[in-house]
Structure 1
Amino acid sequence: MKPVHTIDDVIITLGNIILESKTNNNPLGYFATLYRKVTIKVKEGVDNDFFDDGPRMEKLDVIFANRYLDAYFTFQENKTVTKSWEKAFNLSNKYWPIVLQHLLIGINAHINLDLGIAAAEVAKGEDIENLKGDFDKINEVLSSLVKEVENDLAEIWPTLKKILKWTRKVDDFLVDFSMKLARDGAWEFAKELSSSPGNMITELIRERDVKVAEKARIVIKPGFIVQIVLMIVRLGERGTIKDKINDLNE
């Protein structure tokens, strides 16, 4: 895959992945659909001067997206990807994970690992604290989508919200992977990379990847009670993979 160079390229490429996923009934299309929504919101923010530095934010978005796209296409070629993305992509081969699990495990890899790397790269040669304001504004973009995603999931299975509220354990499962917490961790990782010598970066990323991949276990094996609840949700999910992608895309 050739790297993308603009935010419009990112949106087009994600659209192609979504189309391919619908054609092949591939659950990887769930995360790509959410990610495309986020990217469109970021583009709107850049176009409407929501960010302090629009061109820098587009550069960050493109660097960030290239990490996911490179991992996605590398995995399609049966080549080695980061442990974090390997966990996420392998989940697509299993029947039982619900849409929410596919989304969360993608968020885990992309935000907990990739975002810090992208932020440190775009701030290279400058004080990374200058990026903090726009980095925080990304939180606002994501927060606006959380409620939207909850509603999309409720379309796929209407009683999902009731079940999530019914058991505190499932609430804890979701809290562990809240986007805000993930992004806070990503900022700390970005600062660590930014303040470290160049010869340490590869090892820091490797160590972070191991930790993020380990965290994926919360999504894959969330415990007996949560797993039973999620299996009930899975049996009640409406429609084919294509239908679910369409629901998320609306």
Structure 2
Amino acid sequence: MTRLEHFTTEVDTVVSRMRALDAGWPEHDGVAVFNRVYLAVTQEVDRRLDDGDFADGRAATTLDVRFAERYLSVAEDGPVPACWRPLFQFRRHPGVRPLQFALAGINAHIGHDLALAVVDACRTLGCEPADLEDEFDHVGDILVSLEERIREDLMPGPDLLQIADPLTHLLGAWSLERAREAAWSAARALWALRELPDLADDFARRLDAAVGFASRMLLTPLPD
């Protein structure tokens, strides 16, 4: 087995763990909604790895797996950071729509977990964040390309949202692209602070809290 095949197998393991979670949750559970979205993203990354779309498959796979492990550690009954707490608290709230659940999970995962995953991957690979920028951008491009499909699949009805629908305004306040840019800046800051663990921990806690606040806003219960 080559080194790349070994790392690709790790992605397959991540996919299997997400499928197992999906099988154990009710369809309309808010975390299950996000899990299905993330499963689709991970399968797309896996497909592109198999097709050789990434210039450095080992780096891309390492980043993808470390990123997924951040979510899986929470979903598989681990400690729940502040960024994930709103989704887990509101996962069965009848006033929250599926699209809100999906975007709150994406916000937590990109806004907080992605920055830490870049640092994790750099430590695993013995490299700098700049060495992972191409892989970071490629994975981010996949997420952005799928965002439109996610919104279409989870829209509350066959018609486009009306301007008066509160969900229109709520969704307009959040951008995946901005979240991705902020995650890259946070990753670089955390890496620069790696020799100052107290400052790095404080930065990570504040990032966690800020992302959690945004997730809570995305999960504002809305009228039917």
Q: What are the residue-to-residue correspondences of 1:208-223 with 2, within 5 Å?
A: 208-221=207-220
Q: 1:27 — aligned with what?
A: 30
CA RMSD of aligned residues (A): 2.1
| Number of equivalences | 212
AA paired with 2:72?
L
Counterpart-to-counterpart distance in 1, 2:35 and 2:205: 24
Return structure 1 stretches of 4+ with deviation > 6 angstroms: none
Contact kept, 8 Å, 1:21 with 1:27, in 2: the verdict is: no
Q: 1:204 — aligned with what?
A: 203
Normalised by the length of structure 2, the TM-score is 0.86
Counterpart-to-counterpart distance in 1, 2:122 and 2:46: 20
After TM superposition, give the deviation of residue 172 of structure 1 in Å: 4.3
Alignment deviations for residues 38-81 of structure 1 (CA, whole Å, 9 cap, x no partner)? 00111112111212211111111111111111111225xxxx42
After TM superposition, give the deviation of residue 168 of structure 1 in Å: 8.5
Q: What are the residue-to-residue correspondences of 1:1-250 with 2, within 5 Å?
A: 6-22=10-26, 26-74=29-77, 80-124=79-123, 125-154=126-155, 157-159=157-159, 161-163=160-162, 166-167=163-164, 170-196=167-193, 197-199=195-197, 200-221=199-220, 230-232=222-224
Counterpart-to-counterpart distance in 1, 2:152 and 2:131: 35
> Structure 1's 192 and 172: CA in aligned 2 closer, same or farther, altered over 3 A?
farther
Task: Structure 1: give runs of 5+ residues left out of the alignment.
Answer: 222-226, 233-250
AA paired with 2:30?
P
Larger helix share, 1 or 2: 1
Question: Identity of paired residues, percent?
Answer: 27
Counterpart-to-counterpart distance in 2, 1:16 and 1:30: 14
> Structure 1's 214 and 22: CA in aligned 2 closer, same or farther, altered over 3 A?
closer
> Structure 1's 48 and 198: CA in aligned 2 closer, same or farther, altered over 3 A?
farther
Counterpart-to-counterpart distance in 2, 1:95 and 1:170: 15
AA paired with 2:157?
W
Counterpart-to-counterpart distance in 1, 2:154 and 2:219: 19
